[in-house]
Amino acid sequence: MSHGLRISEALALRWSDVDWLNGKLNVARGIVHQLVDDVKTPESSRAMHIDAAMLAGLKEWKQLAQFSGPDDWMFASPVQIGRLPISYAGVW
């Protein structure tokens, strides 16, 4: 994503963080070393506007994702059976 999210914030997104009707993404948490916590700074906790193309991409990813329930991680780890998102090392 190129919305200024930290990798820890992007990996900690859940499907319920997407406001599909209003085109917003709610950034509420981060994950570092597979530990979920608050975002790094208070300013990081926000609702971001995302455009229609990004929403379409997320919708397509959700349809392909193995774990796509509201409380599932957007980038769930198949190794962790969806209990955690993929790790930073796995992305890198």
Q: Based on the structure, what is the number of domains in the chain?
A: 1
The secondary structure element, H or E, covering residue 11 is helix 7-11
- The boundaries of the domain holding residue 27 are 7-87
Six-digit token pair at 20?
Answer: 């599909």
Q: What percent of the chain has pLDDT over 90?
A: 63
SS3 58: helix
Residue 82, domain member (yes or no)? yes
Residue 1, domain member (yes or no)? no
Residue 45, domain member (yes or no)? yes
Residue 37, domain member (yes or no)? yes
Residue 2, domain member (yes or no)? no
Read off the pLDDT of each residue in 40-53 and give the average, rounded to a whole number.
82
Q: Residue ranges of the alpha helices (H) in the chain?
A: 7-11, 52-64, 88-91
pTM of the entire predicted model: 0.86
Confidence of residue 5 (pLDDT cuts 50, 70, 90): confident
Which pLDDT tens digit goes with each residue over 6-23? 889 999 999 999 999 999
Six-digit token pair at 87?
Answer: 């790790």
